[in-house]
Amino acid sequence: MFDDLRRKDPELYKRNGILPMLKRNAAVKTAPQRWQDNAADGFFDVVFTFEEKVFDMVIEDLNTRDHVLMKTVLIVNLEVKDNHEEAAIGARLTFDLCQEIERAESWEDTIDDIVIAFEKHQRRKLLYSISFY
């Protein structure tokens, strides 16, 4: 897609941010990834999504699985617009939230307080859910 748009009208797609966004995305991952294709790769305690639609899909997938391990997983959605500036802010906020969760002796017992403090301090709403897999 990057090469195709660059051939068509590089100045237009550079100005409107599409080419920089595609270049950034290519550096992060080689192709679009599906949660369902990658979730079986290992164990996880926390899953972050950056779009409510994806958050819903992750929860739906976890709820329809066979719950073999019965391990708790925290799913958090931090809504982030797909542009360079918002992605950088979202990355920093996600890192900060990860540090808060990691500092907790038991995130399962304190997640409500962690989220309330995060939302108050950052002025950003979070969606979150605890599920099993």
Q: Is the overall model pTM greater than 0.75, yes or no?
A: no
Low-confidence ranges of the chain (pLDDT < 70): 25-42, 67-69
Please report the pLDDT score of residue 19 as a whole number: 76
> How confident is the model at residue 32, as a pLDDT?
57
Q: N- to C-terminal Cα distance for the chain?
A: 36
What is the pLDDT, as a whole number, of residue 35? 65
What local confidence, expressed as pLDDT, does residue 37 receive? 66
pLDDT confidence of residue 94:
96
How many Cα atoms sit within 13 Å of 74 on the Cβ side?
Answer: 20
- DSSP structure string for 20-78: HHHHHHHHH-SS---HHHHGGGS--SEEEESSHHHHHHHHHHHHHS--SS--EEEEEEE
Chain segment 39-56, per-residue pLDDT in tens: 666 677 899 999 999 999
